[in-house]
Structure 1
Amino acid sequence: MPMRSTIRLALAGVGLMAAAGAVAAEEIVLKVHHFLPPPSTAHAKFITPWCEKINKESAGRLKCQIYPAMQLGGTPPQLIDQVRDGVADIVWTLPGYTAGRFPAVEAFELPFMTRTAQGASRALWEYVRANKLDQSEFKDVHPILFHVHDEGHLHLRKGPIRTLADFKGLKLRAPTRQTNKLLAALGATPVGMPVPQVSEALSKGVIDGAMLPWEVVPAVKVQELVKYHSETDPASRALYTTAFIFAMNRAKYDSLPPELKKVIDANGGAEASAWVGKIWDDSAPAARNLAVKRGNQFNTIPAAELKNWERAGQAVYDSWIKEVSARGHDGKALLRSARELIDKYDTK
């Protein structure tokens, strides 16, 4: 073969190798969608750092394009379908925003179950895996992690709640089906709505107050719209919490090369779930302090009074067990599983 042809072939081979290397190292941009503004804890302290971490650990091959505050369109309840359908590659949302669609995971949203977000988030991940919910309720997406928020409290416009009787006649916002049922059992009129709607509903007097964790209060400026904060005895289990999912489009995950799947996997699971829960726990004191600085009024519902609330809320447990059992689960076994895992990981 002439020398010139040999050189051409060698150069062509080098070019093909370079092109193959470029394809192998091609940057993959992941569209990440969620419903809160950029200053929120979720955006600033969880999603952004998580994206920076996978970018570093993938040597720049994985990059996030984050769309906060529903910038890709739609409403918060539509996020889970957006990730299923590939509108977004990753979403952060509440399964409970789609009422009744993920009933088994609602065990963690039953009243008086959890103590800390860190421990309960690890327990939630283990609960999903132990009961194979990732293969049933969440089979259409790839769960990266699950978590819950810090203790939920009552934030009110007109006056505090001190006893069970004080709920009567109040229109109170609740985030999920189980919290709606709890408020009804306690004597209030529940008004279900996603977090982004709370500020307007309070300012227009549509609701008298809201069930919220401290973490999210500054993001929607609730401390500026209410004057009273009724908190439960800190030694007792939380009045309620809410389950969240950070999920990836299944086809997008499956399309990743093995080394990039490992990066996603290394930043998900039980440890990552607990890490996010701790972010929520750690954010609560500073958020609460904003309400203190405004001169808002606080009261603590003692453990003895909370016993009355627990008795009133027993019907919520009974209803949930009946419903999930009718859908093919063993409701009592699921509740027992949730409680055992919470007791194992969630201590104060």
Structure 2
Amino acid sequence: MTKTLAIAVAAALIFPAAAEAQTELKFSTFVPPTHGFVVNVLEPLGKEIEKRTGGKTTVRVFAGNSPFGKTENQADQVRQGVVDVAWGLNGIPRGRFLRSSIMEFPFVAESADSASKTLWSMLPGMLAEDYKGFKVLALHCHNPGLFHTRDKKIEKLEDVKGLRMRAPNPSTQALLQYLGATPVGMPPTQVYENIEKGVIDGAVFPWDAIKGFRLEAILKNHFDARVYTTCFHVVMSETRYAALPAEVRRAIDETTGPVLVNQFGLWWAKWDQAGLDAVKARGNVIVPVSNEQREAWRVQLKPVIESQLAELEKAGIGNARAIYDEMLKRVARYAKK
């Protein structure tokens, strides 16, 4: 053995890690580091990927207080290679994920569980075009949300007339506009400041966001409408995924997809309960709504749905009505399981 070869062999034995490239994955989201999606989903997911790759992968999670935390930038950061995995809000910025947005129409979603499973089951077919260029790790929605206000107590849908309400997506904006409110598109991280300044009067959110964004002290009235939902994506770029070592791709595949999607029902129930508990602890006003009243709203709000479907058809989604019908069928089926 030559001296040079001997040195090379010795170096390989002493420093075996040098021959094994370390993979770093950056995860980003727009919610605070204390939010359930960071604490219960992204951080445990990162640790599991690190474990399954024998420590050859390092995962760093960047929450909403980081330079990568802007709500509107999540999917773009993945496309541009700034981060590897992002959890984003489908409706911000508007004009994307149009087929998936039908789940956000009034009364399509019955629960986080059935809505999330429906989106995931439709991804390979009717929704595939929404996610071209992405490796989709999960799709999910929150439980049907409420109307929250600072000063005015809402006791019926029409009471939102004249109010400036934060809305998370175009479908909810259309709903508020139909009811005579002024919808304001705004990331959830900006709600507290704008409520405090009087820029908006309230917001539509699930219970979870009240605790997650510390709004229980400033939004004191809660109308349990449960009319709408908001949906989310967890994505990475197909190019980045394909360039990863095989064992890292395998670890991602084994820990995402249905493994994540099937847990969102339980996760959202936990997160919503925390928000509800925070509201009750402060003695805030909660106005319940009967199932009979919601059934009446289904008829009342049909024009909103028809208008939204027509807009999607004009935007080139020719099968929008077929997607809507299929979503209703699958949501009902998953709700029975």
Band of TM-score, shorter chain: over 0.9
Moved over 3 A (4+): 7-19, 21-25
1:332 and 2:332 are equivalent in the alignment: no
What is aligned with 2:116? 121
Report the AA paired with residue 344 of structure 1.
Answer: R
* Identity of matched residues, %: 30
Cα distance in structure 2, aligned partners of 1:294 and 1:342: 35
Are 1:80 and 2:75 matched, yes or no? yes
Equivalent residue, structure 1, for 2:170: 177
SS of 1:145's equivalent in the other structure is strand
How far residue 320 of structure 1 moved from its aligned partner, in angstroms, is: 2.8
**Partners in 2 of 1:258 and 1:18 — Cα distance?**
25
Asked if residue 214 in structure 1 is aligned to residue 202 in structure 2, the reply is no
Matched, 1:31 2:26: yes
Contact 1:151/1:214 (<8 A) preserved: no
Q: Secondary structure at the match of 2:258?
A: helix
Task: Letter of the 1:147 partner, please give it.
Answer: H
Q: Are residue 346 (structure 1) and residue 335 (structure 2) matched?
A: yes
Q: Could you say which residue in structure 2 is the equivalent of 1:204?
A: 197
Summarize the Cα distance change of 1:131–1:321 in structure 2 as closer, same or farther, 3 Å threshold.
same
Deviation of the 1:269 alpha carbon: 1.3
The whole-number CA distance in structure 2 between the counterparts of 1:24 and 1:146 is 37
Matches of 1:99 and 1:8 in 2, distance apart? Answer: 61
Q: What residue is the counterpart of 2:94 in the other structure?
A: 99
1:96-141 CA-partner distances (Å, limit 9, x unpaired): 10211221010111111122212321111112223251xx221122
**CA distance 1:40–1:328, change in 2 (3 Å):** closer
Q: TM-score, normalized by length of structure 1?
A: 0.89
With over 3 angstroms needed to count, the CA separation of the structure-2 counterparts of 1:328 and 1:288, relative to structure 1, is closer
1:147: which partner in 2? 140
Q: How do residues 53-72 of structure 1 correspond to structure 2 at under 5 angstroms?
A: 53-72=48-67
Match in the other structure for 1:305: 293
Q: Structure 1 CA distance, aligned partners of 2:320 and 2:162?
A: 32
Matched, 1:225 2:214: no
- Alpha carbons of structure 1 residues 347 and 114: separation in structure 2 relative to 1, 3 Å: farther
Letter aligned with residue 345 of structure 1: Y
Amino acid at match of 1:77: E
Amino acid at match of 2:21: E
| RMSD of equivalent CA atoms | 2.2
User: Aligned residue pairs: how many?
Assistant: 336
Q: Read off the aligned partner of 1:95 and give its amino acid letter.
A: N
Q: Give the whole-Å Cα distance in 2 for the aligned partners of 1:166 and 1:240.
A: 17
Q: Name the residue aligned to 1:291.
A: 279
Structure 1 stretches lacking a partner, 5+ long? 233-237
Change over 3 Å in CA distance of 1:18–1:345 after alignment to 2: farther
1:131 and 2:126 aligned: yes
Q: Unaligned 5+ residue runs, structure 2?
A: none
* Alignment match, 2:247: 259
Q: Quote how far apart the aligned CAs of 1:276 are.
A: 2.9
Asked whether the 8 Å contact 1:171–1:191 carries over to 2, the reply is yes
Displacement of 1:84: 0.7
Q: CA deviation at 1:43?
A: 1.2
SS at match of 1:91: strand
Q: CA deviation at 1:41?
A: 1.3
Shift of 1:70: 4.9
What's the offset of the Cα at 1:23?
Answer: 5.6
Structure 1 residues 161 and 24 mapped into 2: Cα distance closer, same or farther (>3 Å)? Answer: farther
Superposition deviation, residue 39 in structure 1: 1.0
TM-score where L is the length of structure 2: 0.92
Q: Identify which of 180, 187, 212 aligns with 2:180.
A: 187
**Contact 1:147–1:274 under 8 Å retained in 2:** no
Residues of 1 paired with 2:272 and 2:260: CA distance? Answer: 19
Aligned to 1:235: none
**What SS does structure 1 have at the residue aligned with 2:131?**
coil
1:251-274 Cα deviation digits (max 9, x unpaired): 221111222211111112123112
